[in-house]
Amino acid sequence: MDSPDRLPVGRRVAYWRGRRKLSQQMFADRLGKSKSWVDKVERGVRSLDKLSTLQEIAAVLRVDPAVLLGRDVERVEVAERAEGVERIRVALSRYEIPLARPAGRRPVLPVDRMLREVGYAWTTFQYARYQQVIDLAPDLLTDAQRTHAQQPGPGRVPLVEAYRIVSALLVKLGQAELAWLAVDRAMLAATGDRFLVAAAAVQLGQVLRVAGRVREAKSVMLAAAYRIAPPVIEYGTPPELSLCGTLLVQAALAAAQGGDDATTAELIGEAAGMAARVGDGHDYHRTGFGPTAVDLARTAAAVELGDARDAIGWHEKATGRAGWRWLPAEHRAAHLVDAARAYLHADDPASAARVLVEAEHTAPAEIRHRPVAREVLAEIARDPHAPTSLTQLAVTLGVG
């Protein structure tokens, strides 16, 4: 019999089903499919073109998807990601509301339902389930636009939040131009509400920095920060301080990208004072702002400024805080990628590998979907002493 690694996908499914002593009917029942569906998959009559289905099959067969699918994993992921981005592009290009196009059979969701939908999408993003957010995004945008068209006042909040989520997702995927379009829509929709403008500006700062527009990023972030800042900081509410402090952090990171260490230190210091008043364990306006988040920003800024030793010091301090474990998985994994970059700059590939393994355990999608994380993985995997798990992941993802 051929090695299972050389078999077509369907035959590999049949091979591992046999190894687990499952009949086609038993296997189908566990998947919630019909026996006919299983038979067609195993004979290659029906293709497995959705990663979520492949992962469900792997879970039932108690094998890693990479073992079951080999090099097909990355091909399926890349295809799904590209198709998902294209669906988001189409959703952003419809203009069905201003053009008064028929809404079709899809009902217009009430505002309270729409708020729950965007809340679920944010939570999914913060758990770093990026493919799931990719799948949700097109309908989320369409529904938010329709709800806003029917109820312009209360419907503005979910519309801005939908655009923010999509922009944050596209930044993760390395789609800066499309992310810019989404956040531009958010800023326009938010106009007139200083809290919504400040919240949307957080994603605008991310987009401008990823696009390399660091001067514009710093200027816009400072304008947005001081617009939301309370007249007397001591009397500021936690939501105000969280937005203002997060925008100052974005401005500081832009300054760091531009090599301005003095401005970077000044702005992060100002944000740290606000963070001390907010405290850890909060997530006002999906910022996760607090003392721990500011220390993570110090790490990222030091990496940009080329100060690896300083970056490592702030990383160790931040991850030792109680607030570290309260941050969303997406935030923690993104920071660990920054820490891995710092260790690489410090010529310590073993520590870089250690924190990247932690990042992969915390949020696997951060490594699989984010271009900068894949670049770090490729660099670490070239080291002859790199952990086997990382070298295998690099091979599976086709990086290196």
What is the model's pLDDT at position 101? 66
pLDDT at position 251 over 60: yes
Report domain 4-69's class: mainly alpha
Percent above pLDDT 90 for the chain? 73
pLDDT at position 74 over 80: no
What is the model's pLDDT at position 214? 96
What is the model's pLDDT at position 5? 46
Going by pLDDT thresholds of 50, 70 and 90, the confidence category of residue 94 is confident
Going by pLDDT thresholds of 50, 70 and 90, the confidence category of residue 382 is confident
What is the model's pLDDT at position 66? 66
Largest distance between two CA atoms of the chain? 76
Mean pLDDT of 184-211: 97
Report how far residue 146's alpha carbon sits from residue 139's, in angstroms, rounded to the nearest whole number: 11
Report how far residue 243's alpha carbon sits from residue 161's, in angstroms, rounded to the nearest whole number: 14
Domain boundaries, the chain: 4-69, 331-400
Report how far residue 259's alpha carbon sits from residue 399's, in angstroms, rounded to the nearest whole number: 30
3-state SS track over the chain: CCCHHHCCHHHHHHHHHHHCCCCHHHHHHHHCCCHHHHHHHHHCCCCCCCHHHHHHHHHHHCCCHHHHHCCHHHHHHHHHHHHHHHHHHHHHCCCCCCCCCCCCCCCCCCHHHHHHHHHHHHHHHHCCCHHHHHHHHHHHHHHHHHHHHHCCCCCHHHHHHHHHHHHHHHHHCCCHHHHHHHHHHHHHHHCCCHHHHHHHHHHHHHHHHHCCCHHHHHHHHHHHHHHHCCCCHHHCCHHHHHHHHHHHHHHHHHHHHCCCHHHHHHHHHHHHHHHHHHCCCCCHHHCCCCHHHHHHHHHHHHHHHCCHHHHHHHHHHHHCCHHHHHCCHHHHHHHHHHHHHHHHHCCCHHHHHHHHHHHHHHCHHHHHHCHHHHHHHHHHHCCCCCCHHHHHHHHHHCCC
**Through-space distance between the first and last CA atoms of the chain, rounded to whole angstroms:** 32
104-159 pLDDT, tens digit per residue, is 667 899 999 999 999 999 999 999 999 999 999 999 999 999 999 999 999 999 99
Per the prediction, the chain carries an average pLDDT of 91
What is the model's pLDDT at position 53? 82
What is the model's pLDDT at position 2? 46
What is the model's pLDDT at position 51? 67
306-327 pLDDT, tens digit per residue, is 999 999 999 999 999 999 999 9
pLDDT at position 3 over 50: no
Lowest mean pLDDT among 157-161, 238-242, 387-391: 387-391
Percent above pLDDT 70 for the chain? 92
Lowest mean pLDDT among 7-16, 95-104, 370-379: 95-104
- Greater model confidence, 317 or 8: 317
Global pTM value? 0.82
Going by pLDDT thresholds of 50, 70 and 90, the confidence category of residue 4 is very low
Report how far residue 194's alpha carbon sits from residue 254's, in angstroms, rounded to the nearest whole number: 22
